[in-house]
Structure 1
């Protein structure tokens, strides 16, 4: 039996009231090393379990934070349990794994709340003078709310951006030839680009550099989504509880993107890649651009001789990505101790340590715009784009739904990339919308008013 998870956005008026009250009660950052406050008591001996997943560098930093907390807070010991992937962590929680604080992908929050595996954190964090304020976007707070309660604290975010080999793009030469050219700063660094300028830059770079292609994009819906969002498409009818894709209403953006992709040499084929992965081809200078998240930065910094930067998705209208949040287990061994530890994890000092791993984009925009994250002396020069794009980031459905959507829409997506007439794209977009309705839960139709009839008198 399919269980439909009911998700609701946090009411705007309620959220404004909560944030206003919180801001009035607090005077700054949450303490990096929390001490018992009137809302908490010094705990008896307690052991907390912190459930995490992700890259080894991230896990090692979680363990470092836990060890420092254990050393600094009397009577509290924090054990970090890790899983290789978020899906494996979710499966463990579903299987009954007990955790006090857990790193949770946004799509799992509603189901965890529905199954009473987590408990709301809003009241607990307000009692600890946590400053939500301007550091956390309203969208992020809403995305982690269920039934008007903040279930988890937004923590990290993974927007898709475009990595660009700037050594392959000659902007001045493009301008001289009268081609649509991405805008640049006085120092020659890229600033932004339209979809048309992107296609022009990819074609020009491939023509001027033998064996080079523009970019590689798999012809499936998940791979296309950040590009569509950048071009201006609204992907779903409801970002938290979609019932359908909304590409038919964004057919113009879809058409613009396909037109750019079908320019000569813009898209590489698997044959062009040879035995390389797309990322290997980019590092070797065989691709001009490649979509990816922040996790690619450390590897690119270690690649000698590569000139690179990051750009917003062509069009600059947004991107896709997702959040992870810190949640409290419904059966936390000591809720006050767990809330103190959660407040420590989201403190500026702790978030800065996560940022220094190179694999972490903070939801906390104060840290996201600080030099510790943007690192202006190192590539990428446009590091602020990771934080900028979050404002217009469209979140994706949970992994099972997304995988089913890709499978269901595969033929239509491939068809849209091989049209002979631009007008055909709208037909494929509408077709994808109709197909997507078989993947997402559909709203129950409102009952029509029944007509009351009086029984006929008996003869």
Structure 2
């Protein structure tokens, strides 16, 4: 299942269409000349533009430093930074106020909301006019994620796949091999579900009160396992109307992975999770493995004595994972498009991306930086930082949703039962319940129509 896009089915085709559409538009205007922009005369107000960034303080500070450099180099505008601690805080503020910054970071998950409200100005033509060549420099998945209608809506910035973090003292692959257990041939490379299961058993030691694994009971947490086991999460890759937990392929996937993922001998119990989060148990050396994103790395590096590494998500039938994607967007309402585009080019330069990547949170969509020491950071944990870039090609992009948080909240209780209930009596019935609950968010009109047509009883004669 891929992201919503209404053009070619491969990354190369998408890239070609995005570039061709922009180049044709430019040629039609004046045989390759940069078309004049129909913008109002500059005013003092037009010279002040806002840039909204979100994330951990060190990463936002990196963006601030780049804004300072831009302001020292360009006279056409003065960029002001507005910062938020998280994507949720930023989107909540923008939804409530209706005010859109001139340039802003955006999650791929919010692209549909932004598109539907027509707040985006496509950036492909703006970038091409300024000599930014996508070519092979950007992850195709990141270009796919931020493209629609054959246009690049936002400049790809980050693409972080979910990988498996593991405590190297609790999960010792060499020791597993010596005991005759199945383990990855080389650390940092791919592994299968049987090897993952063996590692969870190996690391679960009642005498030391350690548990082998934890998977978050959420759609995001379950998605890699379902996709890897050849199941599907939604009934459509473009306009989903329900989840598909009760479909044969997804049920089969759950029957394969749940016996391990919900085994109380191997995973954290509800009582343990009430006392501390999974990340806190991992930091204490009591949890061996947990899925996560690159943004977790700096926090774990700060834990004294913690030895950790990363490996790709286990392959059940195929390699698959999910990802966090970020892009840099330009408001359709900005009164200084030229300055906003110049700022975008400044922020997209390899020098700028290296500055942000050096803080350790970002997996750059710019492949030149992603394969550089600025991102890999040899000598610092994790030892196999290249796992993040290697796993990009296994990301499955789900359909874009306008109400993803509401969907997660609607099925939260059922997903907790799926992974944390002491006894799972009827998987198929629970899966059907999850799918039906999802329709209240994904297909409320269709559900209401079915309910109105369904008789609720018969009248007495």
- The normalised TM-score by structure 1 is 0.81
Contact map agreement 1:231 1:313 (CA 8 A) in 2: no
Of the structure 1 ranges 346-355 and 259-268, higher mean CA displacement relative to structure 2 is found in 259-268
Contact 1:229 1:320 (8 Å CA) reproduced: no
The 8 Å contact of residues 217 and 412 in structure 2, kept in 1 or not, is answered as no
Cα deviation for residue 23 of structure 1 reads 10
Matched residue, 1:196: 194
**Contact preservation (8 Å) 1:159, 1:320:** yes
Task: For 1:158-197, list aligned pairs within 5 A.
Answer: 158-179=160-181, 181-185=182-186, 189-197=187-195
Verify the 8 A CA contact 1:156 1:362 in the aligned structure 2: yes
Unaligned runs of 5+ in 2: 25-32, 448-461
1:411 aligns with 2:414: yes
Distance 1:149 1:280 in 2: 42
Which residues of 2 match residues 15-414 of structure 1 at below 5 A?
Answer: 15-19=15-19, 46-94=47-95, 95-179=97-181, 181-185=182-186, 189-207=187-205, 210-239=208-237, 241-247=239-245, 248=247, 249-263=249-263, 265-272=265-272, 275-315=275-315, 317-395=319-397, 398=401, 400-408=403-411, 410-411=413-414, 414=417
Q: CA 1:51 to 1:133, structure 2 compared with 1: closer, same or farther past 3 Å?
A: same
Q: Does the C-alpha gap of structure 1 residues 299 and 92 become closer, same or farther in structure 2, counting only changes over 3 Å?
A: closer
- Distance in structure 2 (CA, Å) of the matches to 1:40 and 1:66: 26
**What SS does structure 1 have at the residue aligned with 2:205?**
helix
Deviation at 1:416, TM superposition (A): 6.8
Q: Give, in whole Å, the separation in 2 of the partners of 1:23 and 1:378.
A: 43
Q: Any conservation in 1 of the 2:223–2:322 contact (CA below 8 Å)?
A: yes
1:336: Cα distance to partner? 1.1
- Distance across 2 between alignment mates of 1:166 and 1:428: 36
Asked if structure 2 preserves the Cα contact closer than 8 Å seen for 1:220 and 1:414, the reply is: no
Deviation at 1:264, TM superposition (A): 6.0
Q: Structure 1 stretches (4+) deviating beyond 6 angstroms?
A: 20-24, 419-422, 442-445
Cα deviation 1:184-204 (Å, max 9, x = unaligned): 32xxx3533222221221112
1:435 offset after TM fit, Å? 3.5
Rounded Cα–Cα distance in structure 1 between residues aligned with 2:409 and 2:349: 38
Find the aligned partners of 2:241 and 2:368 in 1 and give their Cα distance: 35
TM-aligned CA deviation for residue 378 of structure 1: 1.9
**Distance change >3 Å, CA 138–CA 75, structure 1 → 2:** closer
Give, in whole Å, the separation in 2 of the partners of 1:57 and 1:412: 34
In structure 1, the partner of 2:5 is: 9
Residue aligned with 1:192, SS: coil
Q: Distance in 2 between matches of 1:232 and 1:209?
A: 37
Instruction: Give 5+ residue unaligned stretches, structure 1.
Output: 1-6, 25-36, 446-459
